[in-house]
Chain A
Amino acid sequence: GAVVSQHPSWVICKSGTSVKIECRSLDFQATTMFWYRQFPKQSLMLMATSNEGSKATYEQGVEKDKFLINHASLTLSTLTVTSAHPEDSSFYICSASPTSTEQFFGPGTRLTVL
């Protein structure tokens, strides 16, 4: 149990385009979902926390207009990177939590912006 999927697993896009990443909890309802980015050989950096039906809470330094998060249901959250630039290239990982403490992570999405 406690499976989280992410789609796509990797994406390559041109600078200036927008990319949407989906995160789904497959066998449980997630009261909270989290979005992280991770640079090579570095730890997870929390970008935002979202609860179903309410606006996401962004961490300091994360542009909410650039990283749009929608938590449409208890099993689905999406992250849209708008007007992507090469510096946005990273590994984006979502996690879902049924209890707001333990988190179950998706497999990650590798974004490369050319």
Chain B
Amino acid sequence: QKEVEQDPGPLSVPEGAIVSLNCTYSNSAFQYFMWYRQYSRKGPELLMYTYSSGNKEDGRFTAQVDKSSKYISLFIRDSQPSDSATYLCAMAYAGKSTFGDGTTLTVKP
């Protein structure tokens, strides 16, 4: 079993929809939780970085961490075609990150 499991997708939504991206993990040692966005043929870009359980909001993006359930989510409100990309969750402890396999999102105009 992988340490980090990410909903595989792909996901296709109409413009303006609310998108929910999810990951589960098995290692309770993970302390830091990140979401990255990767456009085709580009390096990943850090979107959100959280440490504790709860919600963190940044513009149209909300990251949610539930340590008790070992479950994290990224919500995108009012999705735009420019949000079309692959989203990677990542979790870290002791200086090492483990990445999910990514969910490819397409937002159709």
Contacts and interface: CB of A to CB of B under 8 A. Distances in A.
Which of under 10, 10 to 19, 20 to 34, or 35 or more describes the interface residues of A?
20 to 34
B97 interface: yes
A98 to B, nearest CB: 12
Given A43-B100, A44-B88, A105-B36, A100 B95 contact: yes
B101 A102 contact: no
Interface of B: 31-32, 34, 36, 41-46, 49, 88, 90, 92, 95-97, 99-102, 104
B1 to A, nearest CB: 16
B49 to A, nearest CB: 5
B50 to A, nearest CB: 10
B43 A107 contact: yes
Contacts, number: 52
A110 B45 CA distance: 17
Given A49-B96, A103-B46, 18 more contacts: A2-B46, A4-B43, A41-B104, A42-B101, A43-B101, A43-B102, A49-B95, A91-B41, A95-B43, A100-B95, A101-B49, A102-B32, A102-B46, A103-B97, A107-B43, A108-B42, A108-B43, A110-B41
Given A6-B43, A106-B43, A101 B95 contact: yes
A41 B86 CA distance: 9
14 contacts: A32-B95, A43-B100, A43-B101, A44-B88, A93-B44, A100-B95, A101-B31, A102-B34, A103-B34, A103-B97, A104-B46, A107-B42, A107-B43, A108-B43
B52 to A, nearest CB: 13
Interface of A: 2, 4, 6, 32, 34, 41-44, 49, 91, 93, 95, 97, 100-108, 110
A98 B105 CA distance: 29
A105 B102 contact: no
A34 B90 CA distance: 14
